[in-house]
Structure 1
Amino acid sequence: MPKLVFLWTDVVLYAIFLVLLWYVWRIKVNPNLRANWAKVMRDPAALCSGIVLALFALVTAVDSVHFRRALSPAAGARADATTFYATSTESLLDLSLIRLAQTRESNYSEPLAYVGFTKEPSERNGQPVRDYPRLKFGGAHLDDPAAQWLPDVLWRAAAGALAGLALAALVWLATAFAVRANHGSTAAAVKDIAADRTHMPLRAALITVAVIGVLVGPVISLMGHYHVFGTDRTGNDVLYQALKSVRTAFVIGTLATVATLPFAVVLGVLAGYFKGWVDEAIQYLYTTLTSVPNVLLIAACVLMVQVFLDKHPEMFETGSERSDLKIFLLCVILGLTGWATLCRLVRGETLKLRELDFVQAATAFGVSSVRIMARHITPNVMHLVLITTVLSFSDLILYEAVLTYVGVGVDPSMNSFGGMINLARSEMSRDPVVWWSFAAAFAFMVTLVLAANLFADGVRDAFDPRSRNFRPRLRPATL
């Protein structure tokens, strides 16, 4: 039996997942929250980007269940002998992509290629020649690749696209069946969805599902026989590296954002409510913090963490645990150095709230300051916290890429978009250009960041009372 491994970031992600479940329950029982999130879901761009984010979150969740394989017992070992485990930590995503992880070539190869990217010396008919070597795994099933390669790729891509469209059609029918009560029948619901005559932008959501199916279906169909995004300098599959980098981006975006909340909310409420010397001390603190160049401060903290980890190798059983602790501490550092902006917003909102009638009435009735801040101030600044949190998610993903690019980001043994872009520096300057590693990292990162930004815009328009960008859909009151 494998041994489950709970990394630092795994535990925090599980805790965030439980908090999200609690928040969903709060939305269900709170009419105001339910109305605001209904506005978000009525925004086509926000709903579609939420579907894309959910897909990335699913990859993150699968990649956050870690284990170590049990080693086979030695010959002649007793039945009650101690079980030893592998020194490498794997995840469910590694298990599902085991072929991509194990099909390592000797060097670079282009996307969907069946030969290597650079010529190598070999022998043909007893004569030494330099030619492009046949890949060990990419296109290895082809007997005559020169004639069979193009038809095979087209056939597999078409089959995958058709499978994706078929799955999207089933989702369309299931959605129509679920909302048929408001349209008379399932057939009428299908027509209303196609004509965009629904209260929610279901047509846009289902088109997004269809596009995802058309893009993902061919990749799944092809990746069992080819390297869809090629291989890197050491022959590792680029698609595998990009999928493994999704969790790193999500960890940085979520954990670093969560790490800023305690300092920003607590200090912002204290500064705005008490004013006087408390306000001046907190303002002096975050003004001093923001006066230091952020990259230099983070780099100094990360280097200190690196020295500590290098001096205490006995703390870790596997390299994954060491790299995971480093990314966890990087998130903490980003949180400790990035709370000033949200703190300013919370302070300004608290200064306004403390002068309102319901807070003055609570003070007049002798309610303690702690209770006023906890029951009356904090709930009324949470819309700012939510908006800022969602907006900061994409910024931190880009921040990780920049930090890793300059060498003070995640551990080199951990896959990340910044690491892929950093390694692509030399590849983009060689002749011929090795472009696919950079293109894959860029495409995945832009998709994730764009989806996060569009979703954040929808949340801001729905929750910010001063926003005037949101326009409700003028549709009949049906699902």
Structure 2
Amino acid sequence: MPKFVFLWTDIALFLMVAGVLVYVWHVRRSPNLRATWATVGRDAPAMSSAVVLMAFVVIGLLDSIHYRPQLPPAPGAAANAPPIYAPAVQSALDGLLNDTVLTRPEKTYSSPLAVRQFTKETELIDGHPIRNFPLLRSGGAHLSDPDSDWRGDVMQRLAWGVTGGVIAALLGTVVLAAALGRSRGGWRQGLVDVVRGHTELPWRAMWLTYALLCLVLAIVVALASGYHVFGTDRTGNDVLWQALKSVRTALVIGSLTTLAMLPPAIGCGLAAGYFKGRVDDAIQYVYTTLTSIPGVLLVAACALMMQVYIDTHPDLFDTSAARADLRLFLLCMILGLTGWSGLCRLLRAETLKLRELEYVQAARAFGVSHWRIMRRHLLPNVMHIVLITVVLEFSGLVLYEAVLSYLGIGVDPSMNSFGSMIDSARLEMSRDPMIWWNLLTAFVFMLALVLAANLFADAVREAFDPRARRYRPKRWLKKKDVSPAQAETGAAP
């Protein structure tokens, strides 16, 4: 039985998942919130992006279940001896990838799907030293003659991956048709409605996204069982493995930093707008001073002080993973506590307007306490701004982490991140021949994550912001249900 390890960011991530589930339960009980989120659900790009985001979340959560494997008992150990655990911390994602080539390092660079090393070395062939590209230790090691058998083996694995992806997509289709068939008179009618787009939710777009993900995932799994799909870096580590491990870092930076930013932003914004006067002046002075300091310099100074504390207290960490995780956790706190001024300004401006409305004035006239007014009347009416800011800040923080890691003040060097991959690729792009796969892999993964987050955030902003709402006619309605006048004006039938 392994020994589970609970890191700071692991606890924070699963607490946020629990918070999201509680919010979903609250939405189901609130008709207004349910109707607003239904508007988001009818947006095809947003729901397709949600499918992609769910794939990233699953990878991040699997990488957040950490444990130390139990080692076999030492020779001659007593029967009642305590169990011995490995010093290295692994995750559930590492356990799933153990049987693939992704976790088997090479000597140095190798190009995607290669069987030989990218750089030449001196080898003894028939007793003579010859400069040659040596065979990889793991990539293509199952081939008897790698040079001649490589192409056929890759095509065969590619066919297996396509077949597996199609089967997974068809299984998803069967499950979806059966689920919709309960309310539509049978699974065949449910399948027809999905294909024709006659559903309230954009199931057709979501299914196409799911099918594409299944196809890509199956192809990568089939190829990764025998080759380094995206090559290896300078130290021989698999680039795809680094990208998968970097997903958790991006999710932690984006979500935990936003969560750390909310308490000071909400508290100070509501207090400044409601009380005005000296309280408003003091809060404005604080966040004006904070925004006057260059953000990168402020984060760098805080990160360096944090690093000095970690270096001077090595006894607080039993593993290197705990040390790197604490640095990531404190970096999120630093980014959150230094980046709350923008949201605070928005909430202050909105609260200045809300405090003059009749229901707030009536509550004050009846002697309701200031705390109760802010909690019951002001906070619910500014939550749309908070939610919009949260979803918009996520993608910006993921990109900001890449900038910080590129400058050397980001996450711990032993922790994988997209910024670290980009930083290591800085010198690789100037080589001849150029090593491009490290940067390209980080770019593709960051593009997919940030683009999906941005598309989903745009739909949330349009649904929750009263000034940005616009009506979109239901595309799933049949033409016979819409009159000519309604078709011209876009009105509801």
| TM-score of the aligned structures, taking structure 2 as reference length | 0.95
The residue number in structure 1 matching 2:24 is 24
Change over 3 Å in CA distance of 1:142–1:470 after alignment to 2: farther
The residue number in structure 1 matching 2:476 is 475
Q: Write the letter of the residue equivalent to 2:274.
A: Y
The residue number in structure 1 matching 2:491 is none
The residue number in structure 1 matching 2:489 is none
The residue number in structure 2 matching 1:83 is 83
Query: Aligned-residue CA RMSD in angstroms?
Result: 1.4
The residue number in structure 2 matching 1:376 is 377
Cα distance in 2 between the residues matched to 1:286 and 1:456: 26
Compute the displacement of 1:370 (Å).
Answer: 0.6
Q: Deviations over 1:436-474 (max 9, x none)?
A: 111111110111000000010010011111104552424
The answer on whether the counterparts of 2:406 and 2:422 sit within 8 Å (CA) in structure 1 is yes
SS of the residue corresponding to residue 122 of structure 2 reads strand
The residue number in structure 1 matching 2:228 is 227
Compute the displacement of 1:360 (Å).
Answer: 1.3
The answer on whether the counterparts of 1:462 and 1:470 sit within 8 Å (CA) in structure 2 is no
Q: Deviations over 1:370-419 (max 9, x none)?
A: 10101111111111100000000000000000000000000000000000
Q: How does 1:393-404 map to 2 (within 5 A)?
A: 393-404=394-405
1:415 equivalent to 2:427? Answer no
1:215 equivalent to 2:216? Answer yes
The residue number in structure 1 matching 2:37 is 37
Q: How does 1:177-256 map to 2 (within 5 A)?
A: 177-256=178-257
Cα distance in 1 between the residues matched to 2:202 and 2:433: 46
The residue number in structure 1 matching 2:360 is 359
SS of the residue corresponding to residue 130 of structure 1 reads strand
Q: Deviations over 1:320-356 (max 9, x none)?
A: 0000000000000001100000001111111111111
Q: Deviations over 1:2-40 (max 9, x none)?
A: 111100101111111111110010011111111111111
The answer on whether the counterparts of 2:103 and 2:241 sit within 8 Å (CA) in structure 1 is no
Q: Deviations over 1:259-296 (max 9, x none)?
A: 00000001000001101111111111111100100000
Compute the displacement of 1:147 (Å).
Answer: 2.4
1:142 equivalent to 2:138? Answer no
Compute the displacement of 1:127 (Å).
Answer: 2.1
Structure 2 unpaired stretches of 5+ = 482-493
SS of the residue corresponding to residue 131 of structure 2 reads strand
Structure 1 unpaired stretches of 5+ = none
The residue number in structure 1 matching 2:55 is 55
Q: How does 1:79-158 map to 2 (within 5 A)?
A: 79-98=79-98, 99-100=100-101, 102-158=103-159
The answer on whether the counterparts of 2:101 and 2:226 sit within 8 Å (CA) in structure 1 is no
Compute the displacement of 1:162 (Å).
Answer: 2.0
The residue number in structure 1 matching 2:488 is none
The residue number in structure 1 matching 2:436 is 435
Cα distance in 1 between the residues matched to 2:23 and 2:468: 23
SS of the residue corresponding to residue 476 of structure 1 reads coil
SS of the residue corresponding to residue 136 of structure 1 reads coil
Cα distance in 1 between the residues matched to 2:440 and 2:220: 16
The answer on whether the counterparts of 1:259 and 1:331 sit within 8 Å (CA) in structure 2 is yes
Cα distance in 1 between the residues matched to 2:157 and 2:110: 20
Q: Deviations over 1:156-199 (max 9, x none)?
A: 11221221122112212211221124433322221221111211
Q: Deviations over 1:294-315 (max 9, x none)?
A: 0000000001101111111111
Cα distance in 2 between the residues matched to 1:10 and 1:371: 34
Compute the displacement of 1:215 (Å).
Answer: 1.1
1:462 equivalent to 2:463? Answer yes
Compute the displacement of 1:42 (Å).
Answer: 0.5
Q: Write the letter of the residue equivalent to 1:339.
A: W
The answer on whether the counterparts of 1:461 and 1:470 sit within 8 Å (CA) in structure 2 is no
Cα distance in 2 between the residues matched to 1:117 and 1:250: 33
Compute the displacement of 1:119 (Å).
Answer: 1.1
Q: Write the letter of the residue equivalent to 2:301.
A: A
Cα distance in 2 between the residues matched to 1:379 and 1:474: 32
SS of the residue corresponding to residue 429 of structure 1 reads coil
Change over 3 Å in CA distance of 1:470–1:388 after alignment to 2: farther
Cα distance in 2 between the residues matched to 1:217 and 1:411: 32
The answer on whether the counterparts of 1:108 and 1:234 sit within 8 Å (CA) in structure 2 is yes
The answer on whether the counterparts of 2:254 and 2:395 sit within 8 Å (CA) in structure 1 is yes
Q: Write the letter of the residue equivalent to 1:324.
A: D
The residue number in structure 2 matching 1:387 is 388
Cα distance in 1 between the residues matched to 2:208 and 2:475: 20
Cα distance in 2 between the residues matched to 1:157 and 1:84: 42
The answer on whether the counterparts of 2:101 and 2:139 sit within 8 Å (CA) in structure 1 is no
Compute the displacement of 1:155 (Å).
Answer: 1.6
Compute the displacement of 1:78 (Å).
Answer: 1.4
Moved more, 74-83 or 298-307: 74-83
Cα distance in 2 between the residues matched to 1:203 and 1:458: 18
The answer on whether the counterparts of 1:161 and 1:213 sit within 8 Å (CA) in structure 2 is no
SS of the residue corresponding to residue 179 of structure 1 reads helix
Runs (4+) of structure 1 exceeding 4 A deviation are none
The answer on whether the counterparts of 1:222 and 1:228 sit within 8 Å (CA) in structure 2 is yes
Q: Identity of aligned pairs, percent? A: 55
Q: Deviations over 1:190-222 (max 9, x none)?
A: 122111121111110000011111211100111
SS of the residue corresponding to residue 74 of structure 1 reads coil
Moved more, 34-43 or 158-167: 158-167
Cα distance in 1 between the residues matched to 2:373 and 2:247: 41
Compute the displacement of 1:126 (Å).
Answer: 2.5
Cα distance in 2 between the residues matched to 1:207 and 1:74: 53
Compute the displacement of 1:70 (Å).
Answer: 2.3
SS of the residue corresponding to residue 376 of structure 2 reads helix
Compute the displacement of 1:476 (Å).
Answer: 3.4
Q: Write the letter of the residue equivalent to 1:18.
A: A
Q: Write the letter of the residue equivalent to 2:64.
A: S
Cα distance in 2 between the residues matched to 1:474 and 1:160: 35
Moved more, 307-316 or 192-201: 192-201
SS of the residue corresponding to residue 70 of structure 2 reads coil
Cα distance in 2 between the residues matched to 1:308 and 1:100: 38
Cα distance in 2 between the residues matched to 1:472 and 1:434: 49
Moved more, 124-133 or 229-238: 124-133
Compute the displacement of 1:80 (Å).
Answer: 2.4
